[in-house]
């Protein structure tokens, strides 16, 4: 009898162990991991070992522990970055590599409890003398006035014709956004970019490739060159152009973009929210009638965890876009990825009614593997997650929350609304 009971208990234990591994039922896996992380975070930065090399950084966490780890690391990053960058914000100049970006800003309105808006406004000019671009920058500082928010006008680091869409601009703007979060209590879901003339050229290029950091964008009197609108799926995009602005066929191309955006929205009605206004009586200068773009943008709030992503990489590539990521081998210009998901977590839903998440990769051009990142605000990580490849093949597994995952997403970018604890990488067939 004892032997029979022991066999039954052993079988039951094995089944329970398998279920825990598959569905994440373990309420307290490796409780020492959070204690070890707390100890690590209390050390001076110079005395710390590399976090991702620590054993505790890769052990599985439950939901409560992932929340604790996120809180610890968010505070740690916020404290360290605040100390490191307070001088650059006070001096109003950011230096990256051998370039520098000066900026000036004005603050408007009463700060909402959820944090301020941030408007990054790019000046015109371009391939001309530095003094001309300096004058354009000074003009831009006083050009627009939002009802509420931090209105920031940067001075381009170079004086070239493409001064606002060279590859380094993405890094400078990410830095500005991070600093504004730290020093002006900007809400990371209320960030907007805008620009006039050469600044408008920058909006055409930057808005699609930095859309995951933006709520909306406004293009005034610019030229897109080779930009694609595909990445604009989840933000608001408004375009203002003088009907008589014939130089470089700006007006004709603006009308083409109006058709392109309308077609994209027709085929994807939940995306590509846009407004295109051709001011027929004006040339390159629209007599400030384009100011209506500011309140139009202000209506938009970024959704950092959208249910569908369209990611088109330009010549300036990125390692991540919303909850998608690629490694260096798959970080290719011209790659085109489209992924939608079901089973998104609803914070108001009953936990027992949550459905398992499924991600469907509809398109994966020019890439061989793709990483999907997750957190507990996005999906139910205590259920297996399924990824459907373009071939129709399904891959199902239970991603593990780890400290290393949280640390990695924060190291890439200080974005408190886009911290991921788990990920799942799939290879295309």
* Residue that is last in its domain, among 298, 325, 355: 298
DSSP sequence for 215-255: SEEEEES---TT--SGGGGGSEEEEEEETT--GGGHHHHHH
Weakly modelled stretches of the chain, pLDDT under 50: 1-28
Q: Measured between alpha carbons, how far is 420 from 310 in angstroms, rounded to an integer?
A: 19
Same domain, 144 and 279: yes
Residue 240's domain is classified under what CATH number?
Answer: 3.40.50.1820
Same domain, 277 and 335: no
What is the tally of structural domains in the chain? 2
Query: Minimal CA–CA distance to 147: which of 180, 185, 109, 117?
Result: 109
Same domain, 280 and 336: no
- Residue 285 sits in which domain range? 92-298
Strand partners, 96: 99
101 within some domain: yes
Same domain, 255 and 183: yes
* Residue that is last in its domain, among 270, 298, 326: 298
Same domain, 47 and 180: no
Same domain, 203 and 326: no
Q: In this predicted structure, what is the pLDDT of residue 355?
A: 83
13 within some domain: no
Q: In this predicted structure, what is the pLDDT of residue 258?
A: 98
Same domain, 348 and 399: yes
* Residue that is last in its domain, among 298, 316, 351: 298
Same domain, 313 and 234: no
Same domain, 417 and 312: yes
pLDDT in tens, 49-70: 999 999 999 999 999 999 999 9
Same domain, 266 and 127: yes
Same domain, 350 and 241: no
CB 37 within 8 A of CB 69: yes
7 within some domain: no
3 within some domain: no
Task: Identify each DSSP E strand in 60-210 by its residue range.
Answer: 93-96, 99-108, 116-122, 149-154, 186-196
In 111-197, which residue ranges form alpha helices assigned H by DSSP?
A: 130-141, 168-184
Q: In this predicted structure, what is the pLDDT of residue 29?
A: 53
Q: Measured between alpha carbons, how far is 350 from 347 in angstroms, rounded to an integer?
A: 8
Same domain, 279 and 319: no
């Amino acid at each position: 009898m004892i032997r029979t009971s022991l066999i039954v208990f052993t079988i039951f234990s094995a089944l329970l162990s398998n279920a825990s591994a598959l569905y994440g039922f373990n309420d307290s896996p490796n409780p020492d991991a959070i204690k070890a992380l707390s100890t690590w975070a209390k050390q001076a930065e110079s005395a710390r070992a590399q976090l991702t090399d620590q054993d505790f950084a890769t052990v599985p966490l439950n939901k409560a522990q992932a929340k604790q780890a996120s809180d610890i690391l968010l505070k740690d990053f916020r404290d360290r970055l605040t100390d490191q960058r307070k001088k650059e914000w006070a001096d109003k100049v950011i230096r990256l590599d051998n370039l520098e970006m000066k900026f000036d800003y004005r603050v408007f309105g009463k700060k909402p409890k959820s944090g301020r808006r941030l408007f990054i406004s790019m000046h015109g000019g371009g391939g001309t003398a530095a003094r001309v671009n300096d004058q354009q920058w000074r003009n831009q500082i006083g050009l627009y006035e939002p009802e509420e928010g931090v209105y920031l006008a940067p001075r381009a680091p170079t004086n070239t014709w493409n001064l606002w869409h060279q590859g380094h601009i993405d890094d400078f703007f990410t830095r500005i956004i991070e600093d504004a979060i730290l020093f002006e209590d900007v809400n990371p879901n209320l960030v907007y970019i805008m620009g006039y003339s050469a600044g408008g050229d920058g909006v055409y290029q930057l808005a699609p490739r930095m859309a995951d950091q933006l709520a909306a964008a406004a293009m005034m009197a610019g030229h897109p060159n080779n930009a694609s609108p595909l990445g604009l799926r989840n933000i608001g995009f408004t375009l203002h152009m003088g009907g008589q602005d014939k130089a470089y066929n700006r007006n004709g191309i603006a009308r083409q973009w109006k058709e392109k955006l309308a077609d994209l929205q027709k085929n994807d009605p939940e995306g590509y929210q846009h407004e295109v206004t051709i001011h027929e009586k004006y040339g390159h200068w629209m007599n400030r009638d384009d100011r209506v773009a500011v309140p139009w943008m202000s209506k938009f709030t970024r959704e950092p965890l959208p249910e569908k992503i369209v990611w088109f990489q330009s010549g300036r590539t990125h390692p991540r876009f919303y909850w998608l990521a690629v490694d260096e081998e798959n970080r290719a210009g011209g790659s085109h990825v489209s992924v939608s998901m079901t089973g998104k977590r609803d914070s108001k839903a009953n936990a027992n009614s949550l459905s398992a998440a499924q991600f469907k990769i509809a398109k994966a051009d020019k890439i061989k593997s793709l990483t999907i990142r997750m957190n507990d605000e996005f999906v139910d990580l205590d259920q297996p997650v399924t990824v459907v490849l373009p071939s129709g093949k399904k891959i199902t597994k239970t991603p593990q929350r780890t400290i290393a995952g949280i640390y990695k997403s924060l190291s890439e970018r200080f974005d408190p609304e886009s911290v991921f604890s788990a990920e799942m990488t799939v290879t295309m067939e």
